[in-house]
Amino acid sequence: MLVAAFIYFSVKSMKSKRNPLLPTEWALVGMLPGIAASLRRHVAAAGKKNCMNFFVTCDPVNIRHMYTSNFANYPKGEAFAEIFDTLEGSLLTTDGENWCWQRAMARQDLARPELLTYLSRRWCDKVEEDLLPLLSRAAVTGTTINMEDLLGRLVFDLSTTLVFGVDPGSLSVDMPPVPASPAFDAIMEVAFFRHIMPASMWKAMRWLNVGQERKLAEAQKLIHGFVLDMINKNRSQERGTAAPVDLLSFFMTNYPDDLSMDQTGEPNKLLHATLISFMIAGRDTVGTTLPWLFYNLAKNPHVVSAIRDELAPIAAASHKQEDGETLMVFEAEETKPLVYLQAVMFESMRLYPPILYERKSVQDEDVLPSGHQVRAGDVIFISLYAMRRVDSVWGDGYREYRPERWLSRDGSSLLYVPSHKFLAFNSGPRMCLGKEMAIAQIKTIVATVVWNYDIELVQGHAVKPKLSCCMQMKNGLMEGSKPTKSGNQGGFSFGRSGIAARLCSHDAAAGNNWYEFLTSTLLASGHTHKIRGPLASSMNFFLTCDPMNIRHIYTSNFANYPKDEGFAEILDIVEGTLVTTDGENWRWQRAMARQALARPELLAYLSRRCRDKVVEGLLPFLSHAAVTGTKINMEGLLGRLVFDLSTTLVFGVDPGSLSVDMPPMPASPAFDTIMDVAFFRQAMPTSIWKAMRWLNVGHERKLAEAQRLIHGFVLDMIKKNRDRERGTAAPVDMLSFFTANYPDDLSVDQTGEPNKLLHAMLIFYMMAGRDTVGTALSWLFYNLAKNPHVVSAVRDELAPIAAASRKQEENETLKVFEAQETKPLVYLQAVIFESMRLYPPILYERKSVLAEDVLPSGHQVRAGDVIMISLYAMGRVDSVWGKDYSEYRPQRWLSRDGSSLLYVPSHKFLAFNSGPRLCLGKEMAIAQIKTIVATVVWNCDIALVEGHAVDPKLSSSMQMKNGLMATVKRREGM
């Protein structure tokens, strides 16, 4: 209903105006569309039916008027304080006497020499002890990293140290989750939405505790808990002879009557808001500036060279290099006089200001220098983002990143740019008191990183701003690392080998930081990483990709490592099936599955159906795309193909999702949801997701809807299975086999409802076939599109079969390969296995510990512990796959002469599981994939759409986040 109301009132508003894009108060989104259309004119005016007006400006003379000349007439206003109610009463939201008092207090505090000395030392220590080791590890392992996350953690720790005198350690080797950090982001994101929608609406949402307001309430709770925790740590830490210099200690010592805490450690309301405001001020300004600065440097390598030229004399004169240290860490005093480095920073802040807009209210009637008349109660928004595009200030080249615009002709000094033209640090009486501190901090960090490392962006990774009050990145800043050549930088000779690391990635798909981070953690930890359970419980979590551990768990001591009850709860839709059970029930079901899947008539039936489906469903779509030049989503097509084949296997019914009209098939994405939500259930405490399930909110609401759709799909397929015409041959599908051979255990009642176990088993077999084959195919075509030499080699192996085929003599235009023809092809199978090594269909396995044991890695495990096996990381263990593990190279699976497949034990390649749980459908899946790939590769050329980002989704299976967009051409000569 909200969407319908939005469309109705928005269209009505457009029709009522001569120019529908002039700013107005639209339903739900307020005046945002009009603002976006009008900013080029430097001032946009918008009004409601009442007498209040909204103005949006980026005119420097207006800004000088409001911020300096007539400052008292343009306060923050009560509405601004309501929007930022988390900071209510603090320096950022107040006016008048209260603001004057707090500003004087802050000036006194931030100007203390002992504070500046302390912080300068902490910046250097934090960079040297935490940031550089992580970058160095990325350089050695070639890991893709999210620089925005690293820098955000660094600045979060530094801001917390400034405010509380405590380092929370969010930037450390194990990269612990820090819920308070994204909670601070949520404050700015929700403030953005509060700005653009009517106050009555967001207040109603707050009262109902829904949407963004629910998110804000949770964020405020997390931040409140964080503040209390830091206060307790501040109080309990050992005190030396020197007085503490952090802000909390300063406030408590110098303003005990105004800023106090009770005996329980609870700060009063003003102190609480003040501490949070200083956290936000430090964290959001510096933490937002740094990622965009490195983004600009990565896009402008000539600027990096100029920075190094400026740093070279300092590095050459440093005694640190004489001590044989390999990494140069710059001090704040060393970087303070560097003008080019400061110009680099200011130019980045001009293009990407940390805070996107300022808001002012009007106290008394006035006329702005632009000629606009404002009245009491009007609201003015100042767009810092638009200010960067004022060509009268920055020239015609305002879009370019050019630090030289800030420098004198000879480059020896910074040009003066008044703050009303460059508002990154505010202007007038509200000029940022921490400006010099922020500049020093940024210069220290940038100088050290730039001197020691080369920066490159991940190819294809989209860097975009998020909808927020501050310029956060929507997708992070993805980068990776590898060592560079030794040599000189900026004229200075390094002691060892140049120490620079180029941050890049091996392919676009490496851009998902979760899987890459998990892998780098495991590789850096010796392939096994231990995590203590929550709330100091006796349970431990182990992450491993160690083949010896896997052999031990899956084979040598199989009985001690069952699936646990927690796993069965996480995948509750298939509870009681092969994938979630152990013991006698598992053995009985496995024997039944072996009997069902080994039937020759089933294999022959599926082979025929796979061939027919490719001919009648897939190839016509590819041919049409080739003729029309249409871009297609290969992941979507292949998913529909495999969905139909899996349904045919399980129910003996083709649902026809891959047909000319491409019908909606809600059950198919519902199966994806099962795997998506399973991932989130694994990643959060059980009590949280169970509470969400009880409340029917978030991912659990999405899961409930998916389960309803899948249940309906199963019932529909059972009905079609019963209603279809029966020939003389007995049906071979799994449903018919189960109900015929195990009627006492697996039955369907007269209404068509299967019993609970049969229902779960049917869903399990659908998921097993669909997720393995469907996911493997998408990533395989991705790898083939990126490696045309592999495609040529596959065609060379297929050529003798095609030449011998009688169908070619009959002048058929498309060659379709049979399963029996592709079965002996070893290179094609190596192509499949190599793709599944890099992109395993199932990303991790989970095991519980039954009795105390010692893993081959030396880790002691106890009853109740949980072990997570990362298949993604297993494909990147260099002791198994070699130093070139990141490359797609099918030859690694072949004998020297290429005539046979090398044996790789399943505990090193876990795509089809291992030990007693080895996948019974392995050969069936390989046959399907080979038939499909051979036919498509022989007849078509597949190319990726340029610029399309191919990333894995956060899920239990290796689904693609954005699909696989491709173009198709008929192969020449075919």
Is the separation of the CB atoms in 944 and 784 below 8 Å? Answer: no
Residue 547 pLDDT > 90 = yes
The pLDDT value recorded for residue 239 is: 64
Residue 791 tokens read as: 């495609």
Is the separation of the CB atoms in 507 and 499 below 8 Å? Answer: no
The pLDDT value recorded for residue 810 is: 46
Q: Phi and psi at residue 30, in whole multiples of 5°? A: 60, -130
Is the separation of the CB atoms in 624 and 613 below 8 Å? Answer: no
Residue-wise pLDDT tens digits, 203-229: 888 888 888 888 888 988 998 988 888
Lowest-confidence range among 69-73, 256-260, 855-859?
256-260
The pLDDT value recorded for residue 9 is: 34
Residue 122 pLDDT > 50 = yes
Residue 704 pLDDT > 90 = yes
Percent of the chain clearing pLDDT 90 (strictly above): 36
The pLDDT value recorded for residue 716 is: 93
Amino acid, single-letter form, for residue 613:
K
Is the separation of the CB atoms in 184 and 284 below 8 Å? Answer: yes
Average pLDDT, the chain: 82
Is the separation of the CB atoms in 963 and 625 below 8 Å? Answer: no
Residue 741 tokens read as: 């051979």
The pLDDT value recorded for residue 324 is: 43
- Per-residue pLDDT, averaged over 77-89, amounts to 85
70 closest CA partner among 333, 303, 364, 357: 364
E strands of 504-617, at which residues? 528-532, 540-544
Residue 170 CB partners (closer than 8 Å, separation 6+): 153, 156, 157, 176, 178, 181
Band (323; pLDDT cuts 50, 70, 90): very low
- Per-residue pLDDT, averaged over 548-566, amounts to 92
Lowest-confidence range among 342-346, 450-454, 777-781, 788-792?
450-454
E strands of 751-854, at which residues? 844-848, 853-854
Lowest-confidence range among 141-155, 670-684, 736-750?
141-155
Residue 139 pLDDT > 60 = yes
Q: Name the one residue in this structure whose structure tokens are 């690293």.
A: 150
The Cα 186–Cα 469 span in angstroms is 10
The pLDDT value recorded for residue 655 is: 93
324: left (phi over 0), alpha (psi -120 to 50) or beta: left
- Per-residue pLDDT, averaged over 838-855, amounts to 93
In b/e form, how buried is each residue of 706-740, taking b as 16+ CB within 10 angstroms? bbebbbebbbebbeebeeeeeeeeebbbbbbbbbe
The pLDDT value recorded for residue 23 is: 38
Lowest-confidence range among 142-146, 414-418, 598-602, 801-805?
142-146
For residue 365, count other CB atoms closer than 10 A to its CB. Answer: 11
Numbers of helices and strands, H then E, in the chain: 39, 22
- Per-residue pLDDT, averaged over 939-953, amounts to 89
Residue 536 pLDDT > 90 = no
Would the annotation count 919 as a binding residue? yes
439 closest CA partner among 421, 425, 453: 425
Band (111; pLDDT cuts 50, 70, 90): confident
The pLDDT value recorded for residue 22 is: 36
Is the separation of the CB atoms in 223 and 184 below 8 Å? Answer: yes
In b/e form, how buried is each residue of 136-156, taking b as 16+ CB within 10 angstroms? bbbbebbbbbbbbbbbbbbbb
The pLDDT value recorded for residue 12 is: 38
Sign of the Cα pseudo-torsion (33, 37, 40, 41, in order) = negative
Percent of the chain clearing pLDDT 70 (strictly above): 84
Band (403; pLDDT cuts 50, 70, 90): very high
265: left (phi over 0), alpha (psi -120 to 50) or beta: left
Residue 901 vs residue 518, higher pLDDT: 901
The pLDDT value recorded for residue 303 is: 92
